[in-house]
Each structure stands twice: as C-alpha cells, then as structure tokens.
Homo-oligomer: A and B are copies of this chain.
C-alpha cells in the first residue's frame, strides 16, 4: 500500500513525463506538488528504493513499469470518480477535479470496478480524457489543437488541454461543450483569433489563447 503522497508524486511524474523522453526534474516536481526541491529529493530516494522510479542523483526521474502502472491506476480512479460526479451528482466539469483529487486515493479494487460498471464503463472523463483500464493501460489518442486547424475545415471538439475552473467556466459561457461541431471560418491575421461556426447554427469568435487549449479531431 502506498501513501496518498506517494501516489500523488507518481501521478505528477506521469503527467510531467508526457511528450518527452527526458527525466522529470526535481524543480518541476517541486513546482507541481507545491513543495520545495529538498522535499522532492527526499521523496525521490524513497520512491526509487521501492522500485517505482528510475533515479540517479542530479539526472531527473522516469517511472518504472510498475510506477507507471500505479500512476495509471490512480488516474483511472480519478477519472471514473469525475464521471460519477458529473453524470450522477450533476457537478459541473469545472468542479469535479478537486473532489476527485481526494476520491482517487480510496483503496478498494472492488469499489472501482463496481463504480465502472455503474457508470456503464465510460471511455472518457468529463474533460474528454481517456480512462485507463484495470490493468493500468490507457489508449493514447492524438488530437490536434483548434489553433492548428486550417480555415474551412470542420472538426469535433473532443477535449481540453487546460483544466482550470476559470477556463472551463469560460467555455460554459461560450457554449462550447465536448462533441460540438466546429467549422473554422476564418483566422484573424491580427490576433490569431478564430471565427468558428458551431453545430451549423451560430458563429463564435474564439481567442487564440482558448483555441490553443481546445482539442479537436
């Protein structure tokens, strides 16, 4: 059994490892976990001891196979609870993350398997992120950002790459939800803002900042 803290470190290393081969740096971990580099060094020693990370002093860390499996099981629990909160308890997609941060540490395999069944074996969480399976495996989808789509193309909104309540509430106000159809009418030369036709019914201007964080397929 691993502590909440250890599980959080594994999860953080997993997220910081995405899209890079290099090890995650001590400072990056200190930033993400709101601790100091010294505390991170201590924890890395312990996680290495337990065979969950590959760690050489001053060299950064990567997860071992077992470490990644554990990280993905925590992420599985996090995302399943988010689905529960959003679909069954009617929480907004901007509210579910903080609560799931606590629920993800509840230790009962049977609980999570039954929850999965109760939810109808969802494949994605409320933000469009894929849910790992019970073996700790997660399909990797490669989506493009709305900001990279050329004029005239029609795409579907499949996810977000920014999960802050402020951003998600902004999308709510704009009426941008997962699954909506987006036709890129025009991209402004001036500020790269995007004019999009939503679900063939209304036109919306999306700032480049927002477009960068909308994942589409």
Which A residues lie at the B interface, using CB under 8 A? Answer: 85, 88-91, 95, 98-99, 102-103, 106-108, 110-111, 114-115, 118
Contact = CB atoms under 8 A, between A and B. Distances in A.
Nearest to A91: B114
Nearest to A108: B99
Contact of A88 (B91, B95, B106, B118): B118
B99 A111 contact: yes
B106 A99 contact: yes
Nearest to A103: B106
Number of copies: 2
Given A88-B118, A95-B110, 11 more contacts: A85-B111, A89-B111, A89-B114, A89-B118, A90-B114, A98-B108, A99-B106, A99-B111, A102-B107, A102-B108, A103-B106
Nearest to A107: B102
Contacts of A118: 88-89
A106 to B, nearest CB: 5
Nearest to A106: B102
19 contacts: A85-B111, A88-B118, A89-B111, A89-B114, A89-B115, A89-B118, A90-B114, A91-B110, A91-B114, A95-B110, A98-B108, A99-B106, A99-B108, A99-B111, A102-B106, A102-B107, A102-B108, A103-B103, A103-B106
A105 to B, nearest CB: 8
Contacts of A91: 110, 114
A99 B118 CA distance: 17
